[in-house]
Amino acid sequence: MSYADKTLTCRDCGQAFVFTTGEQEFFASRGFTNEPSRCRDCRSARKSERGGGGGYSNGGSYSTGGYSSGGGYSAGGYSSGGAGGGYSSGPRREREMFSVTCSACGNEAQVPFQPRGDKPVYCSDCFAKQRGSTGGGGYGGGRGY
């Protein structure tokens, strides 16, 4: 399919902006069917308001250049075909935290997972000490999996 530059109007600021052929090819290659509704500046502003979440955060190309080079989005979750990461249209949920008692020092700690009870759970300080004492290298690192 052949593409031609299109002039679109930003839904936030009302300015006209160009949806380039390279951008159109990028959108098509990712399976996006909708044209962008915001200009580059408004997209950048909106992204920073949301804290950079949602798949475009590691790219850089979205706010600084074109898409035709094939780079820029590989770290944003698109390169794996949707297995993890990627663009989400809804707001990010806060991570659910769980209260636990540290297996080493006995202090209360908050962890981002539901402990199963079959392995020790540590506070941040004790976890760092445990990691440091195992040599910290590679897969497993002597932790007896």
- Cα 54 from Cα 87, distance rounded (Å): 5
Together in a domain, 72 and 10: yes
Together in a domain, 103 and 72: no
- Within the chain, strands assigned E span 6-9, 16-19, 98-101, 108-111
Provide the number of structural domains found in the chain.
2
Phi, psi for residue 61 in degrees, rounded to 5:
-65, -30
Together in a domain, 51 and 112: no
Residue-wise pLDDT tens for the chain (145 aa)? Answer: 788 999 999 999 999 999 999 999 988 998 988 999 999 999 999 988 887 555 444 444 444 444 444 444 444 444 444 444 555 566 777 788 888 999 999 999 888 888 888 988 888 899 888 888 665 555 554 555 5
